[in-house]
Structure 1
């Protein structure tokens, strides 16, 4: 019953299901050699598909008819996987492949710009952030016990010092559709390269400057880091950075011709 323009996904990164859950099950369809963009499109176009997983290590896609209440307790930490569930957002347009990133068990401490009590569900909390008019809602916290929704003009990059682990059952929800100023600073990450993450290959970027422009202009996801290899004119874009990449997903054995840059501050 969702209008086509209202269909959206929210992503939980660094998680995966146990192989035993989806192997041989009619509720899951495993597609080898399928890139993240193809996986997104297949689930978006299917009325039966409620969510998809991307296995970046094995370069595969898993589509499922199972709903979130069934899947959520079965999610396991995995540095080379991500879970994207389909939701319906009315009155909100965003062309990104996912509209919000989800981080369970984390909250921004002391930044409660607006509290919506007993909102009822995480999906409604996401919708409240996406349509907030009084300020630019960059993130929200959904509390499962109280069902409160806490909206904030800050996120884990704007204020990383207040991004804290909590024992209360909450989800941190980060808006991927907020607009950024065009003047952005990228900081070089010495000896660091992101691996096993959603990566987009920019074929037209033959210089580091053009690679950086491609990162800023990319529309499928908010590009936060790019790697440029001058010897091969290779430009790779990714939504991950040092705030979101789990331990074990970086590689310090970087070739001398490759450089990784991370999005820093953006100014008007």
Structure 2
């Protein structure tokens, strides 16, 4: 169960899903979203209202409010609406309203937080109405693949970036709260891949596409993301040349065809890395067995660091001091098994492990 479905199930106190006309919906709850209606009409039933939502083309409809006659459609759900007090359960004095939200599509953006990316702004847009408008500018950007935004309401200014917290180098370039007061940060949640560090390396032959006149590494990465004939997993860049591969250093055969540094000088290599699938966050931890100890802003940043660290299979994170402990073990492989404790023998730690990779002791 992903975090959006899980949060929906908890907050709405409903069974997992029920089917409407096409999409998957939460069970109806006596609730509503105030002040965030993108469409209003008349419907004969809640299911009829849901069908209106699914048919919207001018915005991505995520939830409905229905009072027996009036149907409200919104681009928000209880997870994304700001301020959070605009989601009410029950719906204030208007308890006749029923609320349901789609479970088959996520809110496409993280909730804005006081944060920002430093020095990696690819476009500066003025006179932007609000964070939603800033999101839309990012979604509509055609010159590069936009992954995140910084927005300051006081200035009505929106910065678009091809980076997010996972891809920025170093992590110190993402600050939470922002080093400059008043900025809010939000990133797309539907990005499955981020880019590894660029290193002097290459894959011998096996180029699926060889493009000229691509001036930078980041433009070569964007060219990879836009490829539709095959799934592009890695790139090489040199001067104005860009090679696209359907392989990366783990999938190329023989593995010796990946060389670092490259057997031909001056080529730079980068590959798409999948964030991975993870267990729920547990009140647990692994005693000792830490491959790295870091200080990061939040639990998700700790998860990102584990995803980006070769051999990392699990992590422990503590909010009180932002301590992030990475481990090559998980609860199945740690020895002795009693070194995994649930609840954690030290209070405050939360634990999660990757479930999409084979993890074992590396010694």
Band the TM-score falls in, shorter-chain normalisation: 0.3 to 0.5
RCO comparison, higher one (Cα < 8 Å, 6+):
1
Larger Rg over CA atoms: 2
> Which has more strand, going by share of residues?
1
TM-score, with length taken from structure 2: 0.34
TM-score, with length taken from structure 1: 0.45
